[in-house]
Structure 1
Amino acid sequence: MPPRSLLTGRTFMEFSIPAYCALIAAMGVLAYMSAKRRAMHVAAGTVTNEISRSFHSRPNFHGVFAAGLVTLLAFGVMIGGVIAGLPGWLVIALIVVLAGLAFAYTRTTIRANFKARNVVEFAIKSGLVICSTIAVLTTIGIVLSLLFESLRFFKDVPVLDFLTGLQWSPQTALREDQAGQSGAFGAVPVFAGTFLVMLVAISIAAPTGLMIAMYLSEYASKRTRSIVKPAIEILAGVPTVVYGYFALLTVGPTIRSFAESLGASVPTQSAIAAGSVMGVMIIPFISSLSDDVINAVPQSLRDGSYALGATRSETMIKVVFGGALPGIIGALLLAVSRAIGETMIVVMAAGRAANLTANPFEAVTTVTVQIVALLTGDTEFDTAKTLSAFALGLVLFVITLILNVIALIIVRRYRERYD
């Protein structure tokens, strides 16, 4: 067990990791300033901004090279020391000694023919390649994990039954007459509920967001735009659980009361309650991105339209909207992905009932809600119940991929027209 601090009672490693980071940052800054000053001396013979033409790299590249080498080595020592459980004083001593040796080495490289700029640019490029590779490998890892676990599920449940079955009851039944006795894994009601809630949300968010974007970009004054746009974007920062409470306590009862006044019976939890609140939540995604792409349309297109006698509305609909269509489609796709992946609002406002219905006034469930329900608690991934969550995720991933491909085809088609 790591030794504890006499002053705080915390372990020394817990206490000193922020200090390690501060020490490393300070050493990196000192290395940068010292190496840069040294390079300026070597290049010009004095501390000025005049650099000899025979000097390959400017002094700031020598400074970045020194700071990068010192900080990378120091972070490596810190991570190794923490993992190995070394005493804090020893970790600090190793950081100082090895970073000092690295800095001493960098001072020997400060000369006219040392290509510090090439080294720094290569390091930056390598870092970008590593980050890109990590992103790609992460995506591949997610797909493979879904695929392998889904294949285990499909060994017990046929793929056709899963994709075409009309009854979803993965829970183990308590009586023999219940449908879930051996598990019913027909996913059609789950995906139907997902797309029903998504359609309700998009039917509210898409026209509202697009009209807001058109108004802010073409009709609103600068003062109005500076007030309205940040106010709308605040909606994107509201936690989804707040939207869920709003849907459960306000929107759902309001819809039920209104339906009762018309002589109809509507439950508090319904697809329209969840979808309408979700639509309000994703309005900023559509309005903000659409506003940006509309403003990116060249002013020359507008001027040409006005010169031909078109009104502002005609220019907006027939010229600007067409030129911004690829970006608008991307904004809608992002909103659709956000709606499909939402969980908290659906749990609180739509329920968990797997109903195969096209009526938005009934309770439904979605893929994400079922995944959370199946994987919540102490579970082992060795039963069809838990493995079905991976199958749901895999099918949802494929559907989202198909939507992206369709959107990409549409974007390319219209982009060729306006480029």
Structure 2
Amino acid sequence: MRILVIGRGGREHAIIWALKKSESVSRIYCAPGNAGIAKMAECVPIPESNFEELRQFAIDIGVDLVVVGPEDPLFEGIVDYFEEKRIPVFGPNKRAAIIEGSKVFTKELLAKYKIPTAEYRSFENYDEALDYLHKQKIPIVIKADGLAAGKGVTVAQSMEEAEQALKAMMVDKEFGEAGRKVVIEEFLSGQEMSILAFVDGNVVRPMVAAQDHKPVYDHDEGPNTGGMGTYSPVPHIPQSVYDQAVEQILKPAAEAMVQEDRPFRGVLYAGLMITEDGPKTIEFNCRFGDPETQVVLPRLKTDLADIFVATVNGRLQDMDIQWSDEAAVCVVLASGGYPGPYAKGIPIYGLDEVRESVVFHAGTEFKDGQVVTNGGRLLGVTGIGRTIAEARDKAYADAAKIRYEGRHYRTDIAQKALIAAAGRSDS
């Protein structure tokens, strides 16, 4: 089977890494890929936004399956474009991808079907939004309605910060059309958890849980990013809470999309907050999360290609998906200055010194035979072990071997899990 993976990040590298294990996969192509992906697949210099050229390439080489990684092409309708030519493609169509593409749509969907989430109001008028904001408690959450590369959300700790975020979105147009509408949302406190699921209409097959770290600095300080690291499992959140989230959030959301004539087929990602009142929905994404994929797929025992094919062919209900009991911890290495401005083209050294971990490339490229920086988040170093502690030790030991000017990474990834484990052992 020949597979074309569309994307260039750590998520796509992890997908390809998992697909390489499949005996049914003979060739993998990636458009456009990155420096790490190039060692596992044939990279094709076609951007994710060039639907026509991507489709023609798929036809020319006779691919058996297309896998779409990033959210932007999904929201723009790339799946519909391939399906017009009867090319099998894994991912939601444009009507279903709106569950990530519009936060206003999603909040209205959750409210209509009584799926647990935070209280909210949505606005298109800046003055009305500002007036409402001034009547709310702090902290509060300000969200741009559309896609903003994981950065269109501000958890404001002061009214001044909230006002600045609102102005940046609606007046200064910092996120373009994505900020034309905004959601002002009640702040939820508790533990965050991510649950991804393979979905085919009403059929939901949840993956193992993970916990992401969005802020750029230790102790969850600084601006939000696309994700600075993650780990799986999440041992301090009980299985009963995970089951509750699946039954009260993921399954009802999939059913709601069917009822709205927007049946979802692909990976549905639920970003959750575990509150005193139980799990509540922070957001939905219409694809594999990044960096959650880098710790979830290493724990997958079932053939990923088989799952993709079964989903596309409407046979997901027949799949018995198995997961490893091992733990995985991913530490993201970022460019200096990220999520603000950062330099590109900086040489990266030490990759050949990594021994215990898997390194998933994100914002990298080859230049004159050297791997160099080409983005904000550069690498995801994933350690795998019998416990969170063992996996974490491997990831940090190998992250320290990778060197480049301006290197930045958080030093507290999975610390919450270790603290919780220590508390249990003391009791």
Scaled by the length of structure 2, the TM-score of the pair is: 0.23
Bigger strand share: 2
Bigger helix share: 1
Scaled by the length of structure 1, the TM-score of the pair is: 0.23
Q: Which has the larger radius of gyration?
A: 1
